[in-house]
A and B are shown apart, each in its own frame.
Chain A
Amino acid sequence: MDTLFSGGMGRQSRPAGLGAMDIKERFAFLDPVIPVCVMLLVLIGIASVYSATYDAGASQYFNRQVIWASAGFLLMVAIWLLPFRTLQMISYPAYALSIVMLLAVLVAGKTVAGTRSWFGIGGFGLQPSEFVKVTTLMALASYLSYRHLDRGRFSELATTFGIVLLPFGLIVLQPDMGTAVIFLGALFMILVWAGAPVFLLLSIAAPAAAAVATLFNTTVFLFVISSTLVLLFVMRSNRLLSSMVFSLTVLVGVSVQYLFNQLAPYQQKRILTFLNPDADPLGAGYNVIQSKIAIGSGGIFGKGFLHGTQTQLNFIPAQWTDFIYCVPSEEFGFAGAFLVLALLTAVLLRGVQIASTVKSRFGSLLAIGIVSVLTIHVIINIGMVMGIMPVIGVPLPFMSYGGSSLLTSMIMAGILLNLHRNRKEY
């Protein structure tokens, strides 16, 4: 086992009296942390869906979630046992297939809540945009596995971006902003991991920061602009490139402001409501206010399973999907909310640890990609539910109701397990 990890989670789960070697032997093929945490999260998620949709008995939502979790478990085990090369071999075909599905869903998909992102298969809905997250990570890892971005070749950079921007663009068309944001965030984090030059990272991060800052106010925008200027100056990179990045940053900031002004008032309101949800308690800010009440009123030990008033009385619309975190937070209080947060953190930290242990570059990039996607999901989802992030519809991995999301999360866990099992392969 890796030294980094044995100082963390591993030691706590180690039974007394066993030597370090025994542990290594026993878990050589199966990482102990991820399966335990993932199964706990899935079970808590199922219980939460049960509670959130409880109506004098189990609901259809609960029954379906159990079916999906079972299927997800089988998938996770199957992927864990795949031969090492298989994942890399199917990367491009899987990517191509998922892009075709994205196109198809735009043409023939069902529109749910204003977003055309669903296939109806039998009684079940399927969301290609969830699975695309995995295939894009695989394709990206595959492509970057034998290229080095620090050489600064434009064609390589362009291809790297292209692999992500193609599904990103198709998802924006649906439109599904949450998923799109996750693609961009994950791309940035993979570039960091792949050793992209800091200048390159800055030239991506600065315009993005400017775009967000401009929505707050001018002061924040000017702060971002001046910080960019200082960083560029400190780096002493190519002056032409530096000035291009700076111009891009300003341009993006200004045009976002312009685009914002072009938006319909209700769209503007939705964005501004994030900044102050209490300003519109019955409109866009309603969900966040209600979810904060649910979490806060849970207190330390919660109101008891099936006794959360916010949850049982449906104060949070469609709580079983994006606002599922409220359920354990309200009914089991801080104890429940902390457990979920700790389990998710454990999975993420363990994922970073796997990414840094895996010998193959493909595996390492894929692992960090998965960690990145999961991390951004957690940041946006829990941050949104706790009222410190904008209301962007992304599910909470392993817990939110929804087959595509749950299966994708568990596929990712399966991939992490597979990479861990094959960590010594090059």
Chain B
Amino acid sequence: MTDFNLLSRRRSFFYVFVSIVALVYFFRLVQLQVVYEDEYGKRSDENSLRAVVRSPLRGYIYDRNGTLIVDNRPSYTVTVTPAEFDRSRLGYLAEILSADTALIQGRIDRGRAVNRFAPARVMRDVDFPTLAFLEEHRDRLPGVEYLVESKRFYPTKARAAHLFGYTTEVSDAQVQAMPDEYKSGDLIGATGLESKYERFLRGKKGYSFITVNARGESQGQYNGGLSDIAVTEGDDLYLNIDAGLQAVAESLMADKRGAVVAIDPATGGVLAIVSKPDYDLSLLGGVTPADLWTQLNSDPAKPLFNRATMTRYPPGSTVKMMLAAAALEDHVVSPSWGVNCTGVFQFGRRPFRDLHVHGNTGFVQSIQKSCNVFYYQLMLKVGLERWNRYGKMFGFGSPTGIDILEENSGLLPSAGYFDRVYGKGKWTQGYLVSLAIGQGEMGVSPLQMASYAGAIASRGYWHTPTVVGRIRVKESGTWIDNTVQTRRIEVGDDVWRIIREGMDRCVNSEGGTASLARVPGIRVAGKTGTAQNSRVKDHAWFVGFAPVDDPKIAIAVLVENSGYGGTHAAPIASRCIEQFLTGTITPRIIYSPPVAASDSSGEAH
């Protein structure tokens, strides 16, 4: 080295260069490890911590006697982790699962969009042979796993499809609305109690925190499991339903279209609620095959339609007690008022017929024998306004408020309604005559009719019908009692006595229309009705309660397109009442309907 200055300059250059690099890196370290420590620390935690969701079992459902009626059974769900899945095996997987390739593809893609490292459910309720086949071939199907989940199981004969309802996978919109409660692929109640009581039944998810490596493989519990959040099972529902009665009512309606609703007159608790035809809930456990949906939706018998709460048929003669109560309570006529029934009532130029010539008829006989002429005349005295007011008191024209989602309010015509439909002054008193015997515009559901029967049975206590009696809250171990809302119908005891006497005789006396509602050893009161139909057969109604002296059950039966209420609905009510009160049904002659008996439509029984 000859030139000292040169050496000195070069040496300085290298010192400065190395020092600057060291300083820059030093400050970068300070920036990463001191300034942004918290942020990187958080990202590091998120990196290696995985929350494994522990899905709670849905709450169990018991009947009023504590019988388990909706249970959970293990079910195998095949999952695919999108990041690990080999796309070329898609067809192979679909073939094993005997599913549509596009369906599997869609589910994997949806999972990928959420988190490609998390298993996405591709098929629920896979049978064991399929699962075993998948296990054997797992080396050819990377990323394909299975989960043990639960599915609903219905251990009793009570199908109660419309009541229990089914679950479906949550929609994307639902996940967005309730991101804490639901993740894509979870089940949510879609109909019936499963839907209405979803927030109780679903329980609370638990989380186990595990540490994972870069491949997402578990490296064991985080913090020894101390940070885990325990799963809370779904709350149990204890229904007012009587499973035995429900099953019997379903079997009695098996080959019919219609509905049966039975309630406890003292509380409004729903003892049975049947809609037929129905469908098999066990086929709708989570993912419903598309062809089954198509079949259910296109079935002309409308099995998905809940006839117990959604129908809106005229009540027929069953509504007569309401008109009688209005007339007697408001002293429109005296209790001894009567008509001489000649079998026809001439109103203006139009004759309104009766089925029989009843002769001199008072209130009790009018109910017992279902005299139309009596009510034609009474209606004209009572008037539409009062009739409508009493109709409301008995719960017609508005939803009952039952704890099932779907309910039709029905229709209780008023002057305003007629004005709206026909125009002011363009409808006549003649319209009222039809309403008097429960025909025409009025529309009711079997549920409303059961509540109506319950109100008569309890002498004026109208209760909101409730399916769920109590809820057992799993987290706290406490009980929640369902609130019962009761409305007093201001009708005097002397009036109730007359009406109930008529209903008692309707069943138990000679000439009553509901003699087929009798139960050996139990005194039943009731009233039949036949709702007119213009083209097809009439709908048969029966409302009643038993035992007469201390009613424990009020019931409404509707059998669509069958004929007379006394012939088709009353026998069903009879057996339901016997089943509920005695636990058995004694064999008795089953009435076979006379040929062409229902042809003389026009008037109701």
Check if B47 is an interface residue, CB within 8 A of chain A: yes
**How distant is A26 from chain B, measured CB to nearest CB, in Å?**
25
The reply on B41 being an interface residue by CB < 8 A is: yes
**Which of chain A's residues has its CB closest to B13's CB?**
A192
List the one stretch of B14-22, B528-536, B545-553, B589-597 in contact with chain A: B14-22
* CB atoms of B6 and A195 under 8 A apart: yes
A337 in complex: contacting residue of B24, B33, B39, B212, CB < 8 Å: B33
Distance, CA A224 to CA B37, complexed state (A): 36
Interface segment, B213-221, B437-445, B488-496? B213-221
B211 within 8 A of A: yes
> Is A193 interfacial (CB-CB < 8 Å)?
yes
A-B Cβ contacts below 8 A, count: 124
Given A313-B211, A313-B213, A361-B1: A356 touches B11 (CB 8 Å cut-off): yes
- Considering only CB atoms, which chain B residue lies closest to A383 in the complex? B25
A103 interface residue per 8 A CB criterion: no
A296-B32 in contact given A195-B6, A361-B1, A375-B21 (Cβ < 8 Å): yes
Query: Contact: A309 with B211, CB < 8 Å?
Result: yes
With A309-B211, A313-B214 known as contacts, the answer to whether A345 contacts B18 (CB < 8 A) is yes
A333 CB within 8 Å of chain B: yes
Asked whether B15 lies within 8 Å of A310 as measured between CB atoms, the reply is no
Which residues in A have their C-beta under 8 angstroms from that of B87?
none
Chain B interface, DSSP helix/strand/loop, else mixed: helix
Tell me whether B28 is interfacial, beta carbon within 8 Å: yes
Given A313-B212, A314-B214, A315-B47, are A295 and B13 also a contact pair (CB < 8 Å)? Answer: no
Which A361-388 residues have C-beta < 8 A from chain B?
Answer: 361, 364, 368, 371, 375, 378-379, 382-383, 386, 388
Nearest opposing residue in chain B for A317, CB measure: B214
Contact with B along A261-290 (1 / 0, CB 8 A): 000000000000000000000000000001
A296 interface neighbour in B14, B24, B33, Cβ under 8 Å = B33
B26 to chain A: which residues have CB within 8 Å?
338, 341
Q: B37, A297: Cβ atoms under 8 Å? A: yes
CB distance from A313 to the nearest CB of B (A): 4
Bound-state CA distance A315–B40 (Å) is 14
Question: Does B294 reach chain A (CB closer than 8 Å)?
Answer: no
B337 close to A (CB within 8 Å): no
Whole-angstrom distance between the alpha carbons of A317 and B215 in the complex? 10
Q: Are A310 and B44 in contact (CB under 8 A)?
A: yes
User: Judging by beta carbons under 8 Å apart, are B47 and A309 in contact?
Assistant: yes
Rounded to whole Å, the gap between the CB of B20 and the closest CB of chain A is 10
Say whether A300 faces chain B, with CB atoms less than 8 Å apart.
yes
Complex: chain B residue closest to A302, CB-CB: B33
A40 to B462, CA, bound (A): 90
**Does B347 make an interface contact (CB < 8 A)?**
no
Give B204-240 interface residues, CB cut-off 8 Å to A.
Answer: 211-215, 219
Partner of B29 from the list A293, A310, A386 (CB cut-off 8 Å) is: A386
Shortest C-beta distance, A426 to chain B (Å), equals: 10
A interface with B by C-beta (< 8 Å)? 4, 189, 192-193, 195, 290, 292-300, 309-310, 312-317, 329, 333-334, 337-338, 341-342, 345, 348-349, 352, 355-356, 359, 361, 364, 368, 371, 375, 378-379, 382-383, 386, 388
**B residues bordering A, Cβ < 8 Å?**
1, 3, 6-7, 10-11, 13-15, 17-19, 21-22, 24-26, 28-30, 32-34, 36-37, 39-41, 43-45, 47-48, 211-215, 219
Task: Add 15 more A-B contacts to A341-B26, A355-B11 (CB < 8 A).
Answer: A4-B11, A193-B14, A293-B47, A310-B47, A313-B47, A313-B214, A315-B213, A329-B29, A334-B34, A338-B29, A352-B11, A364-B1, A368-B14, A378-B21, A386-B29
